Chain A
């Protein structure tokens, strides 16, 4: 016998798993102002195991027919207490933790943390390290946007694009592996500089990639931009006004797609971004299509920045001149007494950081990423807090989806490009 429809779509399951969920809907701000139309609505559970939620995002969706009247994200499935763990580690030991927050842009996380600790210490970073940081951050942005484009297109049904995107991403991951020894969890940007001098042949490899990549962007656009299915699924869907975007804490490409012209790289430069010439793509349309266009243009701007970083790459050190904070190289450690002592002290006791609180802010691929680090003067951070773009952007999901069809939720989630690792931390 066929089970009743309610069971097939999971209504009964929702009520059994979590009795608090009715409450969740009833307590949402929207419902108190605008009660649903009586018994006509239905609550549907989406996720946490759902291919289009980009991780373990659970959505409780209230629908009237197929139209969404309410939506509440339920997060925390990936919460591992990284902020708590950081408090028990030395400053230098926190770096590998930051990789794991947003696993699509580890270098950006490393950089944001390193900038915060360097600000606390008052360290001057050599120009060569700054340029390399910019170079690898922009490559990380391309890599992250490739995952976004591939998965977004796959959610909509364009499977081919996914394979092409991952083909290019593979080249970038190989570059990261050559530079940092790891494909994804790079831990490459360290407090005070970088962990290693990149291998000498890597610059040619990056140049080859950057030379070929614009043609690949054309290829993706050729597959998508004039595709009627792609256009129908994206245009006019998930509108977000600039006022709502600001009120709900949206940053990064979704904010710029809503017409707010703000980019941390240009407006509050860090790590030498003021020396680079690039445009900040902005669109005032505010829908999923605009977010797609903005990110596609960001690909090209990132290529520009990478080429400038390669062309202008100065010679010099890749770490700051601070022997009590930065590990000496092996050669010095084995031949010089002082270096051996410094090495021993840094590894066993860490380094003290003057008391204070700072906030570093970077433009991550998904939006603005802040690291708030509080020091009490010891070798372990008193508090590390990450302000991740996805956590705030998720709040705007209801505004973007309300009044639209259930199938549009998939397009909207793809367009805000969330990573659950950074949301749950």
Chain B
């Protein structure tokens, strides 16, 4: 069974436990927090530095952006957690980048300049969570109809809808 004590939490502890990890090396400057839990590395970066962080891990060999998604931690703040899952074909491992956003200012830079595949993923997050990605080439709803009101995957949106 899972033992919560096995998780390594905090930037310093993770960076000391995995000094050879390529993502840890690449994000030594940019990381604000880190976690190594269930054999998965999660690194938190500030909102302003997401493009720089994406470029840094890309340089370090994490060549494939798998996914961009979000978690709504309503009603606690910072409300939104944007999760980037990035894979390395060469190193055969993945790193998870996390950006935390306040509920009243849910916006950050799009990483489409680094990985064009972020286009659809970010549109999905925009559609279902209402997080705004600055610099996105075509930020419009992708799942819901164009005239839909609200963002269904937010926690304050009822499962059955408003009607």
In the bound complex, do residue A356 and residue B7 qualify as a contact, i.e. CB atoms below 8 Å apart? yes
Can you list, as one digit per residue, whether each of B114-131 has a CB less than 8 Å from chain A (1) or not (0)?
011101110010001000
Decide yes or no whether A51 CB sits under 8 A from chain B: no
Query: In this complex, what residue of B is CB-closest to A353?
Result: B2
Flag whether A234 is at the interface (Cβ < 8 A).
no
Residues of B contacting A332 in the complex (Cβ-Cβ under 8 angstroms):
none
In the complex, the number of residue pairs spanning A and B with C-beta atoms less than 8 Å apart equals 117
CA distance A27 to B120 in the complex (A): 14
Contact B92 A372 (CB under 8 A): no
B97 contacts chain A at the CB level, 8 A cutoff = no
| Complex partner residue of B143 from A24, A27, A358, A424, CB under 8 angstroms | A424
A76 near B85 (CB under 8 angstroms)?
no
For the complex, give the distance between the alpha carbons of A134 and B156 in Å: 40
In Å, the complex CA distance between A83 and B144 comes to 14
A75-B143, A76-B142, A84-B152 known; A122 and B1 CB under 8 Å? yes
Which of B40, B89, B115 has a CB less than 8 Å from the CB of A262? Answer: B89
The A contact surface, by secondary structure, is mixed
Q: Closest CB of chain A to B151's CB: distance in Å?
A: 11
Contact of A29 among B38, B64, B137, B145 (CB under 8 A): B137
Give a binary string over A334-377; 1 marks a CB under 8 Å from any B CB, 0 the rest.
Answer: 00000000000000000000111111010000001010101000
Q: How far is the CA of A425 from the CA of B142 in the complex (A)?
A: 12
How many angstroms between the C-alpha atoms of A374 and B82 in the bound complex?
Answer: 13
Contact of A247 with B138 in the complex, beta carbons under 8 Å? no
Question: Chain A residues with Cβ under 8 A from B128's Cβ?
Answer: 83
B66 at the interface (CB under 8 A from A): yes
CB-based nearest A residue for B94: A359
Q: Interface with B: A171-179, A384-392, A406-414, which one?
A: A384-392
Residue A81 at the B interface, CB < 8 A? Answer: yes
User: B144 near A119 (CB under 8 angstroms)?
Assistant: no
Closest B residue to A73 by beta carbon equals B120
Q: Which residues of A contact B37 (CB under 8 A)?
A: 356-357
| Complex-state Cα separation, A28 to B120, whole angstroms | 12
In the complex with contacts A87-B159, A359-B96, A387-B85, A121-B1 CB distance below 8 A: yes
Q: Is B42 an interface residue (CB 8 A)?
A: yes
Q: Are A395 and B138 in contact (CB under 8 A)?
A: no
Check: B65 CB closer than 8 A to any chain A CB. Answer: yes
Interface flag for A123 (CB, 8 Å): yes
Q: Which of A18, A83, A123, A249 contacts B65 (CB 8 A)?
A: A249
Q: Is the CB of B144 within 8 A of A79?
A: yes
Determine whether the beta carbon of A249 is less than 8 Å from that of B96.
Answer: no
- Alpha-carbon gap, A79 to B115, bound state (A): 25
CA A372 to CA B40, docked complex, whole Å? 12
> Could you say which residues of chain A place their CB within 8 Å of the CB of B69?
372, 385, 387
A76–B66 touching, CB < 8 Å? no
**Residue B16 lies at the interface, judged by CB distance under 8 Å to chain A:** no
Q: Is the Cβ of B159 less than 8 Å from the Cβ of A267? A: no
Which one, A119, A262, A370, contacts B38 given CB within 8 A?
Answer: A119
Interface residues on A, range: 35 or more
**Is A88 a contact partner of B85 (Cβ separation < 8 A)?**
no
Q: How far is the CB of B103 from chain A (nearest CB, A)?
A: 16
Q: Which of A20, A370, A394 contacts B66 (CB 8 A)?
A: A370
Residue contact A79 to B4, C-beta cutoff 8 Å: no
CA A89 to CA B40, docked complex, whole Å: 25
A23 to chain B, nearest CB (A): 8
Question: Is B146 part of the binding interface, using a Cβ–Cβ cutoff of 8 Å?
Answer: yes
A246 touches B138 (CB 8 A): no
- Among B40, B63, B124, B146, which residue has its beta carbon within 8 angstroms of that of A359? B40
B-chain residues with CB within 8 Å of residue A88 when the two chains form the complex: 159
With a cutoff of 8 Å between Cβ atoms, the chain A residues found around residue B22 in the complex are: none
CB interface residues, A 175-201, toward B, < 8 Å: none
Q: In this complex, what residue of B is CB-closest to A118?
A: B2
Indicate if the CB atoms of A268 and B92 lie closer than 8 Å.
yes
Is A304 at the interface (CB under 8 A from chain B)? Answer: no
Interface residues of A in 233-249 (CB under 8 A from B): 246-249
The answer to whether B159 touches A85 (Cβ under 8 A) is yes
A381–B100 CA distance with the chains assembled, in angstroms:
20
Interface residues of B in 36-88 (CB under 8 A from A): 37-38, 40, 42, 63-67, 69, 71-72, 83, 85
**A79 touching B119, Cβ below 8 Å:** no
Contact call B120/A76, Cβ cutoff below 8 A:
no
CA distance in complex: A28, B139 (Å): 10
Complex alpha-carbon distance, A385 and B72, angstroms:
12
Tell me the chain A residues, 76-111 only, with Cβ under 8 Å from chain B. 76, 79, 81, 83-85, 87-88
Q: How far is B112's CA from A32's CA once the two chains are assembled, in angstroms?
A: 15
Contact A374 B71 (CB under 8 A): yes
